[in-house]
Amino acid sequence: MLLSPDRPAGRPPFSLYDDEIATVVDLACRGAAEARQHVKPGMIEVPITRLVRKGIVRVKRGASLSNVQLRAGELELDDMASTDPTVLGRIDITLQFVHQFGEEDAYVAIECKRVGAGRHQLNARYVTDGVERFVTGQYASGHSDGFMLGFVLALPAEATVAAISGRVRSTYGEEAQLLPASAHPASLAVLSGRVLQRGSHAIRVHHMLVDMTPAA
- For residue 85, the SS3 value is helix
Per-residue confidence band for 197, with pLDDT thresholds at 50, 70 and 90: very high
What would the pLDDT profile of 45-94 be if each residue is shown by its tens digit? Answer: 999 999 999 999 999 999 999 999 998 645 455 543 333 444 456 899 99
Average pLDDT, the chain: 89
pLDDT higher than 90, residue 196: yes
Check residues 76 and 109 and name the one with the higher pLDDT: 109
What would the pLDDT profile of 114-172 be if each residue is shown by its tens digit? Answer: 999 999 999 999 999 999 999 999 999 999 999 999 999 999 999 999 999 999 999 99
pTM of the predicted protein model: 0.89
Say what the pLDDT of residue 90 is: 87
Q: What is the mean pLDDT of residues 14-18?
A: 95
Per-residue confidence band for 9, with pLDDT thresholds at 50, 70 and 90: very low
Query: 128 to each of 51, 89, 113, 168, 190, how far by Cα in Å?
Result: 24, 14, 11, 9, 20
Do β-strands 75-77 and 89-91 pair in parallel, antiparallel, or remain unpaired? antiparallel
Q: What is the mean pLDDT of residues 175-184?
A: 96
Query: 78 to each of 45, 67, 68, 81, 84, how far by Cα in Å?
Result: 22, 27, 24, 9, 10
The amino acid sitting at 174 is E
CB 157 within 8 A of CB 189: yes
pLDDT higher than 80, residue 98: yes
Query: Structural domain boundaries of the chain?
Result: 18-211
